[in-house]
């Protein structure tokens, strides 16, 4: 399966990275060619400095550096930062799967299971895959791990087609 968008591997800043559109055989991707910078139009994702490393309708991946301002006591990543990371990846995945003629999506519900901690200085990785894609809603699961492969959180979210 081809990616609808590809990003340079060493992106310095999400807002300044330019997406490269590739040919995509799926109908839903052709509508997105008018919005090639989807992740870059998400100011909160830019504030967090989320790096999207892969965007395909069946999988979205990203990275986030654990910085002191994203932490709680003990220099561990705050649960809200983990949830926001997953929510952004899930939103991109839902957008990539919008039915023809639809232009937006919003989060209806999100549930997080915290499994471990990520420390300041670590890089966390998020991988979002579909659980269900329907006409009115889609459900996404995001697994967040450390570079060492340690599980940090599993987030399940439901997106509403607008």
Q: Is the pLDDT of residue 101 over 90?
A: yes
Burial degree of 100 (CB within 10 A; 0-12, 13-18, 19+): exposed
How confident is the model at residue 41, as a pLDDT? 75
How confident is the model at residue 39, as a pLDDT? 57
Q: What is the separation, in whole angstroms, between the first and last Cα of the chain?
A: 27
Span 47-72, pLDDT tens digits: 999 999 999 999 999 999 999 999 99
Span 16-59, pLDDT tens digits: 322 322 233 343 333 343 334 565 678 899 899 999 999 999 99
Residue among 121, 118, 134, 11 at smallest CA distance from 61: 11
Residue among 23, 57, 52, 59 at smallest CA distance from 37: 52
pTM of the model: 0.79
């Amino acid at each position: 399966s081809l990616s609808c968008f590809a990003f340079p591997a060493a992106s310095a800043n999400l807002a300044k990275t330019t997406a490269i559109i590739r040919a995509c055989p799926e109908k839903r991707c052709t509508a997105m060619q008018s919005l090639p910078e989807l992740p870059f139009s998400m100011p909160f994702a830019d504030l967090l400095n989320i790096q999207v490393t892969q965007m395909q309708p069946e999988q979205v991946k990203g990275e986030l550096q654990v910085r002191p301002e994203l932490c709680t006591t003990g220099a561990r990543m705050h649960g809200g930062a983990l949830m926001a990371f997953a929510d952004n990846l899930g939103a991109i995945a839902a957008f990539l799967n919008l039915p023809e003629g639809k232009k937006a999506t919003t989060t209806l519900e999100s549930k997080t299971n915290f499994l471990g901690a990520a420390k300041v200085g670590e890089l966390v990785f998020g991988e979002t895959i579909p659980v269900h894609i329907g006409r009115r809603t889609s459900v996404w699961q995001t697994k967040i791990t450390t570079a060492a492969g340690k599980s940090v959180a599993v987030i399940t979210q439901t997106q509403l087609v607008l």
